[in-house]
Amino acid sequence: MKRLDKRALRYAAQRALKLLGLASTLAGAAAGLLRLRDFAAERLVASAMDRPSPADVERSFASLPAPLRQQANEAAEALAARKALRLELRARDGVRLVGHWLPAAQPRRLVLGFHGWHSAWNRDFSLSAPFFLDQGCSLLLVEQRAHGESGGDCIGYGLLERYDLLDWLDELEARGLGTGLPVYLAGVSMGATTVLLAAGLPLPEHVHGILADCGFTSAPEIWESVWSGALPLPYALLRGAVEHLASARLGCSVDADSTPEALARSQKPVLLIHGLADRFVPPWMTERGYAAAAGPKRMLLVEGAGHALSYPTDPEAYQAALLDFWRDFDGQKQA
C-alpha cells in the first residue's frame, strides 16, 4: 500500500512538473506575444503620428492616375509660385505655425483652408484654389502642425489642430486681414476633420460655415478602418495599446471627441463632400456626420471619386454646391 502511495506521489510530481513546464512555456509565449503587440503598436503609432518626410508627402500622391497626377503637380507648383504673404504665429502650446495668405482681387469672403494627413498647403487646394480666388475668396492656406514649415512633431488628427484653427482666427483679426468678410473653414481629409472638430468649439459669429471634404470621424475609427485586415495581427489585439500610446503623445484621450459629436453641438452651417469611390476614408463617415449635424447642413456625394478627388472628378457639381452654400449663408451671421 505504501509502495502504491509512493508511485502515486511520483506520478503526481511528474505530472505537476510537466504542467509547470507547460505553464512556463505558455507564460513565455504570452510575454512574447505582449512584446510583439507593444512593438507593433509603437510602430503603428509612429507611422500615423510622426512628422512626414518630403518623400512621405510625395508618396501620398503617387497613387493618382498619371494624367491627374501631372495636372495636380502642375497646379501645386503654380499655387506655390503665387505671391503669397507668409504668416507665422505661435500656437497656444508654443508650436510655430506657418500659413500663406492669398487675397482675392475683389474679396467677398475669406476661406481658411486646412490640408490633409501627409499632404501640403499647396497640394490639397491646388486644383480648387483658382476657383476660390475667382469667386472672391481670399485664402489663408495653413501648414498643419508637424507638416511642412510648421513646427511640432506630433500629428493630432484634428484634436490638437482644432485649437490651431482658433489661433489662426485670432491672428487674422489681429492683422486686420479679411475684416468684415464672412469666414468659412475649409478642409480636405484630416483637414476636414480639423474644421469639423472645431465646429464643436465656440466660434465667432463671423464664421459663417464649414466646408469639409472627405473627413474621417475620429482617429480611432480611421485607424481601425485602415488597419483592420491589413496587418499580420488582428487589429483588435492592438487597439488598446495603440490608443494608449497615441493618447500619451497627444496629452489627451485619442477618443476625446469625434466629428459627429462636434456637429451635434454646433449650429454653424456645414457643407459635407465625399467621393463614393473613396477607399481610404469610407463615405459612411461623412454620412454619419451629416445625420448628427444640428445646424443647417448640405451634403454632396460624388460618384466615382476616390479619396480627396471629388473636385477633379466632378468640378461642376462641386462648384455649384459651393456657390449655393455661399449664396445662402454669406449674408447671415451665425451663432
DSSP annotation string for 165-223: HHHHHHHHHHHTTTTTS-EEEEEETHHHHHHHHHTTS---TTEEEEEEES--S-HHHHH
> Residue 133 burial (CB < 10 Å; 0-12/13-18/19+)?
buried
Strand, helix or coil for residue 34: helix
Element (H, E) at 110: strand 109-114
Distance CA 231, CA 40 (A): 10
> In Å, how far are 196, 258, 264, 266 from 261, measured between CA atoms?
10, 5, 5, 9
**Per-residue DSSP letters for 58-104?**
HHTTTTS-HHHHHHHHHHHHHHHHS-PEEEEEE-TTS-EEEEEEE--
CA distance 21 to 27: 10
pLDDT at 10: 54
Q: Which one-letter DSSP state was computed for residue 121?
A: T
Eight-class DSSP state of 127: T
Amino acid at 111: V
Q: What is the pLDDT tens value at each position of the chain, 335 positions in all?
A: 444 465 655 555 455 545 555 455 545 555 556 777 788 899 999 999 999 999 999 888 887 888 888 999 999 999 999 999 999 999 999 999 999 999 999 999 999 999 999 999 999 999 999 999 999 999 999 999 999 999 999 999 999 999 999 999 999 999 999 999 999 999 999 999 999 999 999 999 999 999 999 999 999 999 999 998 788 778 888 899 999 999 999 999 999 999 999 999 999 999 999 999 999 999 999 999 999 999 999 999 999 999 999 999 999 999 999 999 999 999 976 56
Q: How far apart are CA 10 and CA 4, in angstroms?
A: 10
Contacts of 146 (CB under 8 A, 6+ apart): 49, 50, 51, 52, 152, 153, 154, 155, 156
Q: What is the model's pLDDT at position 2? A: 46
Q: How far apart are CA 237 and CA 38, in angstroms?
A: 10
Instruction: Please give the domain boundaries of the chain with CATH numbers for all domains.
Output: 50-218+257-329 (3.40.50.1820)
| Grid cell in block for residue 283 | 463615405
Residues 1 and 278: their CA atoms lie apart, in Å, by: 78
Beta pairing, strands 183-188 & 207-213: parallel
pTM: 0.89
Residue 328 pLDDT: 97
